[in-house]
Chain A
Amino acid sequence: EAGVAQSPRYKIIEKRQSVAFWCNPISGHATLYWYQQILGQGPKLLIQFQNNGVVDDSQLPKDRFSAERLKGVDSTLKIQPAKLEDSAVYLCASSLDSQGYGYTFGSGTRLTVV
């Protein structure tokens, strides 16, 4: 089966600019996650969707980050305006259900804010 697809692979922007990342999960996976991984640390959950509804966005900086999964399939994560501390790898993952069975990560988007 195809894996979790993410794009772009790399992005460099200036601070205060906006950026968007795209994720297409494994077909049939109801749950989609966006994680942020800062260099040298483990991934941290930003937001979790179950179909097209938000399950957990408690660690999403809502003043600058937004995410949507309108049709319950692919998803976009947006940052506006970006700060230097947003430099990180943004990982998308999907699982078959909300219990996390079949957890699969995409290759990630490496964001550098200068």
Chain B
Amino acid sequence: GIQVEQSPPDLILQEGANSTLRCNFSDSVNNLQWFHQNPWGQLINLFYIPSGTKQNGRLSATTVATERYSLLYISSSQTTDSGVYFCAVETSSSNTGKLIFGQGTTLQVKP
């Protein structure tokens, strides 16, 4: 099956710093989403981005489907950005909404 690899596995930032999280996937996809899991366990959908670039406030994401990777940018990080960031994909052969999750990047933002 498809492999989803996220890097780095852990990241510690000082408040105000910028960061880039990466997601590599091993097969073509028709659906890619980024999620943030807060320290209380709630998964929040950040972006639906199978290709192209989107921005939402301090967050932006870019997916280059032909090269099988996606990037999540966090600018001017805040302590509330702490948590685990997951990339999740659906293979092009699936078309059912079934998402395969990566292992996540754990982000800690220090005040």
A43 in complex: contacting residue of B40, B42, B48, B101, CB < 8 Å: B101
A98 in complex: contacting residue of B35, B86, B96, CB < 8 Å: B96
Q: Is A33 an interface residue (CB 8 A)?
A: yes
Within 8 A of B (CB), among A54-99: 55-56, 89, 91, 93, 95, 97-99
Q: Which residues of chain B are within 8 angstroms of A108 by Cβ–Cβ distance?
A: 41-42
Count chain A residues whose beta carbon lies closer than 8 angstroms to a beta carbon of B.
Answer: 26
Q: Is B88 an interface residue (CB 8 A)?
A: yes
Q: Are A89 and B97 in contact, CB atoms less than 8 angstroms apart?
A: no
Q: Are A107 and B96 in contact, CB atoms less than 8 angstroms apart?
A: no
Q: Are B103 and A105 in contact, CB atoms less than 8 angstroms apart?
A: no
Q: Is A13 an interface residue (CB 8 A)?
A: no
Q: Which residues of chain B are within 8 angstroms of A55 by Cβ–Cβ distance?
A: 96-98
Categorize the interface residue count of chain B: 20 to 34
Q: Are A99 and B98 in contact, CB atoms less than 8 angstroms apart?
A: no
Within 8 A of A (CB), among B67-96: 86, 88, 90, 95-96
Known: A42-B102, A42-B103, A42-B104. A33 touches B97 (CB 8 A): yes
Residues of B near any A CB (own CB < 8 A): 4, 31, 33, 35, 40-45, 48, 86, 88, 90, 95-104
Residues of A near any B CB (own CB < 8 A): 31, 33, 41-45, 48, 50, 55-56, 89, 91, 93, 95, 97-101, 103-105, 107-108, 110
Q: Which 8 pairs between the two chains have the least Cβ-Cβ distance?
A: A42-B101, A100-B97, A105-B43, A98-B97, A43-B101, A100-B31, A55-B96, A98-B96
